[in-house]
Structure 1
Amino acid sequence: MNPNQTCRVILAEDHNLLREGLRELLVRMPGVEVVGEAVDGREAMRLASELLPDLVLLDLSMPRTNGLEALKEIKRVNPRIKVLVLTVSKAEDQVYAVLQAGGDGYVLKDTSSADLFAAIRSVLAGERYLSPAVATVVVGLYLNSKDGQAVRPTYDVLSDREREVLKLVAEGHRSKEIAEFLCISPKTVEKHRANLMVKLNVHNISGLTAYAIEKGLVSA
């Protein structure tokens, strides 16, 4: 990070209290300017496209479009923008999916402010940063792979639409509500839900909800 250059940051976090706390931390970091704040993934994508920040600090579990899909779109539109994921989840599926999508860093929310600053500096310097606990997960993925090729976790085989449906189901929305939100038919929602149960090897809504919480898609 160039000490003579201001780093422009967008905060994407749907919990107001946490977002405000992160903002207060960042304004104390020399050379950092918070230029935008998003409360969901769709707004994060819009702001990234309009403001062209140096860095997006991105939560994975957000309404409307989730953080992972926002990450993919931000990188697709402008690969130059660094994206540092900040989440509670260190599940293998999530870590793998973020790295595959081009995430520049993966930091757990229980990290210290000093470690968060270190992560931001590393990412802006062109390095990839992983919280120690996440690095352990990545090593495990590699050791459990064949011929050095990472295994493809279950979450990664879900389609984008299935992930949207999974998150909305876990948030407690009924099929009709999900259909209206996604502009699809209730019958299509039921089909996606059935496919999710097969792919994830769960047998009811409670199982889908538990899986979504485990992967950090929704808060418990």
Structure 2
Amino acid sequence: MESTPIHVVLADDVQLFGKGICFLLERDEELVVDYQASNGKELIAYLRTSKLPDVVLTDLNMPELNGVEATKIIHKEFPDLKIVALTSYNSKPCILNMIHLGVSCFLPKNVKPAEFISAVKEVYHSGFCYSNEVMKLIHDDFMHKGKHVKCDFDKSYLTSRELEVLELICKQFNTSEIADILCISPRAVEGHRNNLLLKTESKNVVGLVTYAVRNNLLNFLN
């Protein structure tokens, strides 16, 4: 008796990588790739107008609409759809943020092909597939009372106040000057600075500036 095929949709802006993933998936007789999107916007458009797949594979860093924002929309409009985050951004904030958003699995792009295929099937059959590393992060997060950190592709990753502080840090203002400009206490400035260091996984102010450059946050600087 033939098993029911598992229908998969993939979203990744790197065409060569995406085609490689499709080739890998379709080598397995249980898996069928219905569509390959090049960004989150195309992915959402497909889901709204076509028969829903069993599993969605999505990268995080994509143009038009990234994987984090696409995941939010998918879970709002198609809450039962299983999502696998497949990305090279496997930092603790990214992993926890995507888990909190409801992804069924988080896989680094350098995962072994056999593990990748097995994870997709496990998500389909069991609803989720978390590695021991991810399970430990979830456990540690719970033990710290769920103080969520977000992935930097999340539009609400940094608060408006944190962005203001980051802007002034990049303009080389010190703590007292930032406090005066924003009409807050120096202690509050230090609190926001510590939050920025935590969220961006930076070790110092240089790391914060590097983060701002890397993530195109300097467009608000005049």
TM-score (norm 2): 0.69
Report the Cα distance in structure 2 between the residues aligned to 1:150 and 1:162, rounded to whole angstroms: 17
Question: Alignment partner of 1:64: what SS?
Answer: coil
* Letter of the 1:194 counterpart: E
The unaligned stretches of length 5 or more in structure 2 are 168-191, 198-204, 217-222
CA apart distance, 1:205: 5.0
Aligned residues: 180
1:90 aligns with 2:96: no
CA separation of 1:160 and 1:61: change in aligned 2, threshold 3 A: closer
CA contact (8 A) 1:90 1:137 kept: no
Give the equivalent residue in structure 1 for 2:11. 12
Report the Cα distance in structure 2 between the residues aligned to 1:130 and 1:121, rounded to whole angstroms: 13
* Letter of the 1:26 counterpart: L
Report the Cα distance in structure 2 between the residues aligned to 1:42 and 1:62, rounded to whole angstroms: 9
Report the Cα distance in structure 1 between the residues aligned to 2:92 and 2:126, rounded to whole angstroms: 24
Give the equivalent residue in structure 2 for 1:101. 101
Deviates more, 1:122-131 or 1:23-32: 122-131
The unaligned stretches of length 5 or more in structure 1 are 167-189, 214-220
CA separation of 1:162 and 1:140: change in aligned 2, threshold 3 A: closer
Report the Cα distance in structure 1 between the residues aligned to 2:163 and 2:3, rounded to whole angstroms: 51
Query: Which among 164, 176, 199 is matched to residue 194 of structure 1?
Result: 164
Give the equivalent residue in structure 2 for 1:178. none
CA contact (8 A) 1:10 1:55 kept: yes
CA contact (8 A) 1:12 1:41 kept: yes
Larger Rg: 2
CA separation of 1:15 and 1:68: change in aligned 2, threshold 3 A: same
TM-score (norm 1): 0.70
CA contact (8 A) 2:97 2:148 kept: no
Cα deviation 1:143-198 (Å, max 9, x = unaligned): 4x1xxx32222x37x895455xx8xxxxxxxxxxxxxxxxxxxxxxx999536655
Report the Cα distance in structure 1 between the residues aligned to 2:68 and 2:153, rounded to whole angstroms: 12
CA contact (8 A) 1:10 1:48 kept: no
1:125 aligns with 2:125: yes
Task: Compute the RMSD of aligned alpha carbons.
Answer: 3.0
Give the equivalent residue in structure 2 for 1:60. 60
1:152 aligns with 2:148: yes
CA apart distance, 1:114: 0.9
CA separation of 1:161 and 1:116: change in aligned 2, threshold 3 A: closer
% of aligned pairs identical?
Answer: 24
Report the Cα distance in structure 1 between the residues aligned to 2:24 and 2:14, rounded to whole angstroms: 16
Question: Alignment partner of 2:97: what SS?
Answer: helix
